[in-house]
Structure 1
Amino acid sequence: MTCDSVDYGSLVWSDDLILGIDQIDEQHRKWIALVQAYQSAVVDGGSAEEIQRTLTAAVAYTESHFDDEQAVMEEAGYPFIDDHLDQHRLAWRRVNGFTAGSPTEDGEETNDLRDSLADFLPQWLMLHINTADRQFARWYRSRSDSAQATAPCAPAAIDDGRVFADIPL
């Protein structure tokens, strides 16, 4: 994977996703594995029980990770926390919208919702890690006395601190 060609639809852990904050990096590894399990269950035609089990695990971990990440940001005094949390809330509403669908008699709506969520989660997660989370990590590391080298493929911040200020939250 090169910095110029991130495939946001392909959810695979790689060193390019390392932010340099151990707690968050470890959670991202686990979260990606859970979302991959859900996506695989849907794409490979897993049983309804497997799909539900993997979805439940991925959604529960999403909520837990969002809470943990918010706590790290609050403790550090991150000045762009509101933008970041807005992104979390939008994703959470989208996930809840997908999971709140009601099945039709033939199960078609349920399958469409599962497929849509299996597409959305990996794309959103890759984009979020590579933009908003990377922006936070860069800010966080810049404040640290033991600042580490910039993580691979880290885009340069613009003046207001947001990496892509023109993308609406």
Structure 2
Amino acid sequence: MKIAWTPDLAIGDGMIDRQHKELFAQVDRLVTAIREKRNIEEVREIVDFLERYVIVHFDAEERLMEQAYFPDINSHRREHARFVEKWKGLKAIFEREGPSLAFALSLNRVVVSWLRYHIAVRDKAVGRYIAERAKAA
């Protein structure tokens, strides 16, 4: 099953939407690499890329919220911080077991489910807030 960004996940900010698309593409690439039992170094490269990219993305998203004076920014930041902690736990599973079934199942639960929910609910709220502010200006 392909893991893909869908247009209903667009929040209306071009940069953030592009980053979300890239996150989905890289997670799909990771799941494919695990499913096809590719070389562990290839899988590790994707895991490391995702770890770096998530930080870059969260920083960009939080800057956008700061610039827009988004009222729920602190709660949003806490969600990002919790995700980073979950990612560290997921990476620890990978370091211990490699691209195992446990890692793949945790990846689906921790990353795919969280990412879809977070974008569809939390990030779209940011997009709506910014759009409403733009209309009012």
Give the TM-score of the pair, scaled to structure 1: 0.72
Aligned partner letter, 2:116: M
Alignment root-mean-square deviation, CA: 2.2
Q: Does 1:116 align with 2:108?
A: no
- The question of whether the paired residues in 1 share the 8 Å contact of 2:90 and 2:107 is answered with no
The aligned residue for residue 53 of structure 2 is 61
State the Cα distance separating 1:112 from its structure 2 match.
Answer: 4.5
Cα deviations across residues 77-97 of structure 1 (Å, max 9, x unaligned)? 110001111111111100001
State the Cα distance separating 1:111 from its structure 2 match.
Answer: 1.8
More helix by share: 2
Greater Cα shift, 87-96 or 34-43: 34-43
State the Cα distance separating 1:145 from its structure 2 match.
Answer: 3.4
Structure with larger Rg: 1
Aligned partner letter, 1:76: A
The aligned residue for residue 134 of structure 1 is 124
The aligned residue for residue 65 of structure 2 is 73
Percent identity of paired positions between Structure 1 and Structure 2? 26
Q: Residues 98 and 22 of structure 1: is their aligned pair in 2 closer, same or farther, counting only changes over 3 Å?
A: same
Of residues 81, 91, 103 in structure 2, which corresponds to 1:89? 81
Cα deviations across residues 100-138 of structure 1 (Å, max 9, x unaligned)? 2452xxx4x762452134312111111111010011111
Q: Residues 20 and 144 of structure 1: is their aligned pair in 2 closer, same or farther, counting only changes over 3 Å?
A: same
Q: Runs in 1 of length 4+ with deviation above 4 angstroms?
A: none
Which blocks of at least 5 consecutive residues in structure 1 are unaligned? 1-8, 148-169
Give the TM-score of the pair, scaled to structure 2: 0.88
